[in-house]
Each structure stands twice: as C-alpha cells, then as structure tokens.
Chains A and B, each alone.
Chain A
Amino acid sequence: MSAAPDQLVAHMFRHEAGRLKAVLTRWLGLGRLEEAEDLVQDTLLEALAAWKLHGIPDNPAAWLYKVAQRKTLDVLRREQRHRRMAGALSQEADEEAQTLQAPSLFLDEEMADSQLRMLFACCHPALPLETQAALCLKTLCGLSIAEIAGAFLTSVDTINKRLYRARERIRDGSIQLEVPTGPQLTARLAGVLRSLYLLFNEGYHSTHPDQLIRRELCEEALRLARLLTESPRTNQPETFALLALLCFQASRFDARTTELGTIVLLEDQDRSRWSQGLIAQALRYLGQAAAGDYASTFHLEAAIALEHCRARSFATTDWPAIARYYSLLLARQPSAMVALNRAVALAYAEGPLTGLQAALAVQGLAQHHLYHAVLGELYRQAGQANKARQHLAQALQLTTSRAEQELLQRKLGSLPD
C-alpha cells in the first residue's frame, strides 16, 4: 500500500499545486510567489510522509489545504510576533490574525477565483505579452521550462531569460504584481486568453514522451475559460471564441489515440467517438462569439475547428474554406506554424504540389519535427518517396514523443522502395 500515497501525491501535485499556490499567494501577497511555492512543496512532502504512516485521509484535498493554511498562518504569526517584539503592535495584531482564519479555503468559488486572480496579476501590462503568458504558465499552470519553450517555438534559454527578467523587475519593485479590478480586467484579458490557449495547446498535443494528450491541462484551460465567460468584465466575444475553439478541439480526444496510446490521424478517426455534447456546447459558444463585428484570431481558429467537427468524413471536409481561414489567420498573425498548417490545408484543397510549394516557403521551422513530418507526408502524396523518406527520418530524429515516433516509423514503413 505504500505505492498508493506516492501516486496520489503525484496526482494531487498535478491537480492541486497551482490552486494551492494561488490561494496561499492571496494570503502572503503576490510579492511572495516563491515563498508560496516553498510552502506548497512543504505541504506535499508532509502529505507524503503522513499518508504513508496513517493512510490516505477521506478528503485528501481538504487535508492539503488545511495543512497549507496552518503553515501560512505560522509564517504570518511569526512575522506579527517579530513586529511586536520590535515594539509595533498591540492586541489588534492578534485579532487580525484571527480574522485571517475566517475566510474558508474550501469553497470552490474561492479557489477558482484565486487562480483567475493570479492569472490576471501575472498578466501585467508592463511585461511583453509573451512574458505574461510564460509567467502564467510557469507560476500557475506548473509547466516546465521545456514545455513552455515548446509552446513558444523557442529555446529553453530564451524562456529562462524572459522569466528571469520578469522576476527581476518584480523583485526590484518596478513591477508590482497585484490583482486588477474592473476595467483593468478587460484590459488584461488578451494575455490571460493567450495563456489559457497555450495551456490547452500543451495538453492537446503534448511534448511529453509518454502522453500524447494531457487531459488535465486541457480541462484546466476549459474550466478557467468557462469562468471568464461568466463575468461581465471578461465575457467578450473573444472569450467565447476561445472557449468554442477549446470545446471543438477537446471533442475529438477519445478518437485521437487507440487504447494503447498510438496516434490515430484525423483521416482515420472514428467520428462516432467525437463528443457531440462538447460540439453542441462549442456551437452555442460560437453563437455568442458572433455578437461583435470583430473577428479575433480565436474566431478564425474556431471557424477552422468547426469545419473539421461538422464534416461527416475526412473526404467531405471543406478544405477550401479551411485554407481561406488560414490565409486570413496568417495575415493577422504571421507565424511559421500558421503558414505550415495553411500549407496542409492547401494540399488537401488543391493538391500536394500546391501544398508542398507553400510548405517549402515556410521559414524558421527547420529544427521542428512537425515541419519535416508535413513535408514527408506531402512528398509521399506527391509520389516522391525518396524525399518523403528523408524528411520523415528527420522528423523521427527531432521528436521526443514515443507515440509520434511510432507513427513516423509506420509511415516510413509504408513507403514504396
């Protein structure tokens, strides 16, 4: 039975660490993020030890929060005592410490709000948008530097530098992390939406060697995005567009891998396994996203996702429409990844040679496995087996995901000699 506490603590860590940190930060203040992190670590270590000895409590999450709360109060009381000894405070300090206990840490609303509050705090307007998102992903969502680098199609070095600079500015006081209110929430929404998008993205097709889809990350992104649609400050058309996009993409999860975890490509997926419930939700959100006159990049991506989800089969997918949306998206957001995806859509809309032309024109992805996987597939479709082999082999070298390696091996094996 000693294996169970380890697994449970690991599970709790993935699910609860972010929330715990957010709640503790609310108590300690946003300037003490690292301290909050340490307290969370201490709590989890204590859980591991105690649960091995005494068994797993009935409500493990509540146990964690109680202990974390106790540790935080200890820290705060020590500071109060210290200040008192320096001759500052009276009995009021004790009373203040008492009232700190009053707000319950167990209400779901409180926890949810804490996470959103932290997300909004991290999206400080003085930081570049990409740094805002990186800070969110590191601080709240628990992504590793490598995962964040993958999300931004950049190097671990770059991310480290970005985060270091941000932390320095927070440390030296030139940036105060604080929870915005009212119209500030609306102003910071772009950064928060981008962070949720990237969080979902990592879960949707992760760089993790053993897990293609990390559902807990996607569920977290969905949950937080839904909360945003429930507040008048943040329920902009863009928020609904993002949520529609996430629901469409999540609807296909059950069909994207076999029970053994091998990848099932879109053209081979059993579409009866797509969640129609999620698609129905997505359609409703899309309707609400259509309220304004402005189509954000999330609207365009949601429109593409819609085309896939409403197609009865791969063959009847409206590829020309998808290609048009990608062209619009590219004009709005000149990114190599968008250009690459557009090339794929063009291949299916107008033929592999057109797709190849577009793909070969994409700059900057020579070290990315997806670039070579796409080229490999398009060369295969165009009947150029040697070039196909070359690029598929390169993709194989560049990916760390076991499922992707397996798929690429399969593709290589199916090429004519």
Chain B
Amino acid sequence: MDKFMLLFHGNAQAQQDFANQSPEALQAELQKWNNWIGGIAAQGRLVGGEALAPGGKTLTAAGQVHTDGPYTEGKEVVSGYLTLKAVSLDEAVQLAQGCPVFETNGSVEVRPVTNFEQ
C-alpha cells in the first residue's frame, strides 16, 4: 500500500468561525471529524493527521515574512491534513468522501506521498 496525504482547504472566514464557536458547537464539529476519521481508522487506513490552528506566518525567499497569516491565493487556508494508507489514488479519493470540510464549502486535495524507498 502507498501513503497519501489529504490537505483540507477551507476559507479564512470558515476558520475564524470555527475558532469562535461555543464549546458545545466545537464539540459537535469535532465529533463530525472524529467520526469521519474514525471510519478511516476502522478500515485500518489511518496513519496520522493534525488540525491546524488559525494564525501563523507565510515565508518566502530569504525568510522574509510575506504576510501575517497562512493565506494562499483567494484567502484560502489549509486547515489541516490527514495521512493514510491506500492501495491506489482512487481508494484514497474514496476515503476522502464524507469529509466534514465539504460542509463549509472547503475542498480536499489528495496527494500521493513520495516513497523514497522505491
């Protein structure tokens, strides 16, 4: 099996909204993610993943701070990632179905992880 990384793209507003939720709403949101990730884990495909907190910096050449926030073009923000094992890109795409980021109009980028051992 190969490793794939799912990158969750959301918009900056959604990420702000997420951070400003009530504790109950946060729990409910987290539950959606846990249930979805749990499904991947239950199939023995989960390798790892992290949610990324808002804020941070973007650097460009010579380490100069370009902007004061991790925004890529179009105010798009990477809100987290997941690494998983799958037999093919198709299976990885299958596993990405049902991701909670879709509910806030975000997107999932599915990328194969380079295997240097081959």
Contacts from A to B (Cβ < 8 Å): 272, 274, 276-277, 279-280, 283-284, 286-288, 290, 303, 306-307, 309-310, 312, 318, 321
Residue contact B42 to A283, C-beta cutoff 8 Å: no
Asked if B30 lies at the interface with its beta carbon under 8 angstroms from chain A, I say yes
Question: Are B47 and A306 in contact, with the CB atoms below 8 A?
Answer: no
Question: Is B98 part of the binding interface, using a Cβ–Cβ cutoff of 8 Å?
Answer: no
Total A-B residue contacts, Cβ distance less than 8 Å: 56
Q: Tell me which of B24, B42, B50, B51 has the highest count of chain A C-beta atoms within 10 A of its own C-beta.
A: B42
* Contact bitstring B26-60, A, C-beta under 8 A = 1, else 0: 01101101110111011010111111000000000
A306 in contact with B27 (CB, 8 Å)? no
* Interface contact B34-A279, CB-CB below 8 Å: yes
Are the C-beta atoms of B34 and A310 separated by less than 8 Å? yes
Given the complex of chains A and B, what is the CA–CA distance between A287 and B49 in angstroms? 8
For residue A242, give the distance in angstroms from its CB to the closest CB of chain B: 16
Closest to B84 in A: A287
Q: Tell me whether B42 and A309 are in contact (CB under 8 A).
A: no
Q: Contact between A284 and B30 (Cβ–Cβ < 8 Å)?
A: no
Q: Are B34 and A280 in contact (CB under 8 A)?
A: yes
Question: Are B33 and A290 in contact, with the CB atoms below 8 A?
Answer: no
Distance in Å: Cβ of B12 to nearest Cβ of chain A: 23
| Residue in A277, A303, A312 whose CB lies within 8 Å of B35 | A312
- Alpha-carbon distance between A309 and B38 when the two chains are bound, in angstroms: 8
**Are the C-beta atoms of A303 and B42 separated by less than 8 Å?**
yes
> Which residues of A sit under 8 angstroms from B38, Cβ to Cβ?
279, 283, 306, 309-310
23 A–B pairs (Cβ distance < 8 Å), ordered by A: A276-B34, A279-B31, A279-B38, A283-B38, A283-B49, A284-B48, A284-B50, A287-B41, A287-B46, A287-B49, A287-B83, A290-B44, A290-B47, A290-B85, A303-B42, A306-B38, A306-B42, A307-B42, A310-B34, A310-B39, A312-B35, A318-B42, A321-B42
Measured in the bound complex, the distance between the Cα atoms of B50 and A288 in whole Å is 13
Given contacts A306-B38, A307-B42, contact A276 B48 (CB under 8 A): no
B46 touches A286 (CB 8 A): yes
Nearest CB of chain A from residue B25's CB, rounded to whole Å? 11
Expressed in whole angstroms, the Cα–Cα distance for A307 and B24 within the complex equals 23
> What would 6 more interface pairs be, CB under 8 Å, given A280-B30, A288-B48?
A279-B34, A279-B38, A283-B37, A287-B49, A310-B34, A310-B41
Closest to B26 in A: A276
Given A276-B27, A283-B41, A310-B39, residue A290 in contact with residue B34 (CB < 8 A): no
Q: Which of A274, A277, A310 has the most CB atoms of chain B within a 10 A radius of its CB? A: A310
Instruction: Specify the chain A residue showing the minimal Cβ separation from B33.
Output: A280
Q: Which of B33, B46, B50, B83 has the most CB of A within 10 A?
A: B46
Q: How far is the CA of A303 from the CA of B39 in the complex (A)?
A: 11
* Whole-angstrom distance between the Cβ of A96 and the nearest chain B Cβ: 49
**Is there an interface contact between A287 and B48, defined as CB atoms closer than 8 Å?**
yes
Residues in B with CB closer than 8 Å to A274 are 31
Knowing A272-B27, A272-B28, A276-B27, say if A286 contacts B41 (CB, 8 Å).
yes
Closest residue of chain A to B47 (Cβ to Cβ) is A287
Contacts of B85 in A (CB 8 A): 290
